[in-house]
Amino acid sequence: MPAPGKAYIPVQCQQCENPPCVKVCPVKATWPEPDGIVVIDYNQCIGCRCCMSACPYGARHFNWSEPSLPADQVNPNMHVLGNRPRMRGVVEKCTFCIQRTRKGLLPACHDACPTGAASSATSSTPSPRSGSSSPPSGSSVLKSELGTHPKFFYFYS
Ligand code: SF4
Ligand code: SF4
């Protein structure tokens, strides 16, 4: 990189409007919230990993070990469906920083990105579920042919 015709892009949970990961969960431990964020209840998750197989974006990951974080590095601003430490044996994914975005802030990746590349991709919070909405002008979504209706929009310059 750079190479003609090639690009690296971040691919996290696309906060799908029609999420296949939700449909396969045998214990209803994952669902889309009214504001469009797809969440996981880590206390309900049994770690079967069906959702990992169902996600066409590889956005879910299994926790193989207990979290080990020094107490002074634990973020006290936690959300039960968001950034709290996830225990061994459950699946997790990007939570669209629910503990921030519900307060009107942008996701932490937006603030941390050294090149500002995340600004276009994350400046729109997932919109309320509204059927098959189209990507904003000038943007595209990944694997649109699958009918998942992602809420992450990619702008290319
Ligand atoms: S990207 Fe994957 S994990 Fe995220 S909502 Fe869509 S199907 Fe589910
Ligand atoms: S790993 Fe957890 S969230 Fe995923 S399908 Fe199984 S129980 Fe549901």
- Is there an atom of ligand 2 within 6 Å of 50 CB? yes
Which residues, including other chains, have CB under 8 Å from residue 11's CB and lie 6 or more apart?
57, 58, 59, 142
Ligand nearest to the CA of 46: 2
- The H-assigned helical ranges of 91-152 are 98-101, 108-112, 118-122
**Ligand 2 atom with the shortest distance to the CA of 54:** 5
Residue 136 is classified by DSSP as: P
Protein residues whose CB sits closer than 6 Å to any atom of ligand 1: 13-16, 19-21, 38, 55, 57, 59-60, 93, 148
25-64 confidence digits (pLDDT tens): 999 999 999 999 999 999 999 999 999 999 999 999 999 9
On whether the CB atoms of residues 88 and 62 are closer than 8 A, the answer is no
Question: Rounded distance, CA 76 to CA 82, Å?
Answer: 12
pLDDT in tens, the chain (157 residues): 678 888 788 899 999 999 999 999 999 999 999 999 999 999 999 999 999 999 999 999 999 999 998 989 988 989 999 999 999 999 999 999 999 999 999 999 988 888 777 654 444 444 444 455 678 888 899 999 999 999 999 887 7
Cα–Cα distances (Å) from 35 to 101, 117, 124, in that order, read: 10, 24, 12
Question: Rounded distance, CA 39 to CA 93, Å?
Answer: 9
Joined tokens for residue 142: 């990944």
User: In terms of Cα–Cα distance, which of 29, 27, 20, 30 is closest to 54?
Assistant: 20
- Is there an atom of ligand 2 within 6 Å of 118 CB? no
Name the β-bridge partners of 39: 31
Ligand nearest to the CA of 24: 2
Q: What is the pLDDT of residue 126?
A: 46
On whether the CB atoms of residues 40 and 29 are closer than 8 A, the answer is yes
Q: What are the backbone angles phi and psi of residue 155, rounded to the nearest 5°?
A: -110, 130
- Is there an atom of ligand 2 within 6 Å of 47 CB? yes
On whether the CB atoms of residues 83 and 99 are closer than 8 A, the answer is yes
Question: Rounded distance, CA 84 to CA 76, Å?
Answer: 9
- The pTM score is 0.87
**Ligand 2 atom with the shortest distance to the CA of 52:** 4
Q: How far apart are the CA of 123 and the centre of ligand 1, in A?
A: 19
